[in-house]
Chain A
């Protein structure tokens, strides 16, 4: 990719504002460059275990959406919530299920095989611990989409991923509000999460 432009952006000047603006792509930009270059020639990428190129990214997102959907379904069944909070959880669960459907369809349209639903088990001990877990999951989900946006090649897939990404951001803000935590924990610029970090975070909930 355009190394000169990156250098210009990263090194030139010294304005903290620009630095903050571009911080989102800081740490793993080297890896991302490799990913972009190799994706073009059909090689390995950060999401290669889920498929090639955009299909891999979509299947990665699909796996996370499956987990979110299963989580909210289990929370609804747990009986830990009532009233307005239960309605919010149901609504978010329905939206995650719509994401699952849309991503599955998109993988198929691209000629790929949708990732299988992972088996998962979530700790549902108290309303407070569940809300905390929901907050973690939603903030992580939003960061996961943000981490992949620049890797997506197809403008249609990118448009779709962006349309989902901001909804995950909305969910995260609501849960942070319920938890009494800042709605924008990263400040004015949300930070991305790479695949490794995200998968490591969800691993404890995967069964078998």
Chain B
């Protein structure tokens, strides 16, 4: 059913970019306005452009993109078990998140294969931090970015099975984000809406950690 989505996005972008082609599809415009009602009208255009940026990669592309992010998180937490010197409650949290991220890696790789694709290999990562506080700061960035990455990719997913499954992962990432933020004495849910990030924005955010 999600095949239908492609056209509305393109139509909405044309309305957005050309600024005047309203006759094309009033329905689409209404959809964009609905998004505007939620994100604030200033957010509509960037959102639709973000949506388009993801639309060419297909489900396998999106899953492989998510897999890369999960590789990063899995490696980060696995390494942190010793390097970040977590103790007490934080140690339990790091162990839990490390296990969750590793399960996400395995599930995403397996799903890419089932869809007939080839799972991407893990890049090599380099995380710069010197102490527990430095680790927690990075962890917050990764978790918040992960949530927004999945939220940005969600509307581009064609298979509703993959979408439902990705939803099951993003909720877990959001829970991680809140728990890490509590450790940092930061607002666990800083805003009423977790805004989406495009693939480009996410890559830019994680690029410094890929060797």
Task: Write the residues of chain A forming the contact surface with B, with a CB cutoff of 8 angstroms.
Answer: 1-2, 5-6, 8-9, 12-13, 15, 17-18, 20-25, 29, 32, 36, 40, 88, 91-92, 94-96, 98-99, 102, 105-106, 108-111, 142, 145-146, 149-151, 153-160, 162-167, 169-174, 176-177, 182-184, 186-192
Contact = CB atoms under 8 A, between A and B. Distances in A.
Contact of B34 (A8, A150, A157): A157
Interface of B: 1, 4-5, 8-9, 12, 30-39, 47, 51, 93, 96, 99-101, 103-104, 106-111, 113-115, 147, 150-151, 154-156, 159-161, 163-165, 167-179, 182, 187-189, 191-196
A25 B157 CA distance: 15
B13 to A, nearest CB: 12
A22 to B, nearest CB: 5
A189 B160 contact: no
Contacts of B196: 159, 162-163
Contacts of A183: 93, 96, 175-176, 178-179
A84 B99 CA distance: 31
B110 A17 contact: yes
Nearest to B147: A166
For the complex, would chain A's binding face be called helix, strand, loop or mixed by DSSP majority?
Answer: helix
Nearest to A185: B175
Contacts of B150: 162, 166
A18 B110 contact: yes
Contacts of A6: 161
8 contacts: A12-B114, A17-B107, A20-B103, A142-B171, A146-B164, A159-B51, A184-B172, A186-B172
A8 B114 contact: yes
B160 A32 contact: yes
A20 to B, nearest CB: 6
Contacts of B39: 160, 163
B188 A24 contact: no
Given A162-B151, A166-B170, A150 B194 contact: no
A9 B171 contact: no
Nearest to A192: B164
Given A146-B171, A159-B196, 12 more contacts: A8-B114, A9-B114, A18-B113, A21-B108, A21-B110, A23-B165, A36-B160, A146-B164, A146-B167, A153-B4, A160-B39, A183-B178
A89 to B, nearest CB: 12
Contacts of A167: 174, 189, 191-194
A167 B47 CA distance: 18
A98 B190 CA distance: 13
A146 B168 contact: yes
Given A149-B154, A150-B164, A188-B100, A163 B111 contact: no
B103 A189 contact: yes
Given A13-B110, A17-B110, A163-B196, A24 B189 contact: no
A166 B151 contact: yes
Contact of A155 (B9, B38, B108, B192): B9
Contacts of B31: 110, 154-157
B171 A166 contact: yes
A187 B114 contact: no
Given A105-B37, A160-B39, A184-B96, A169 B165 contact: no
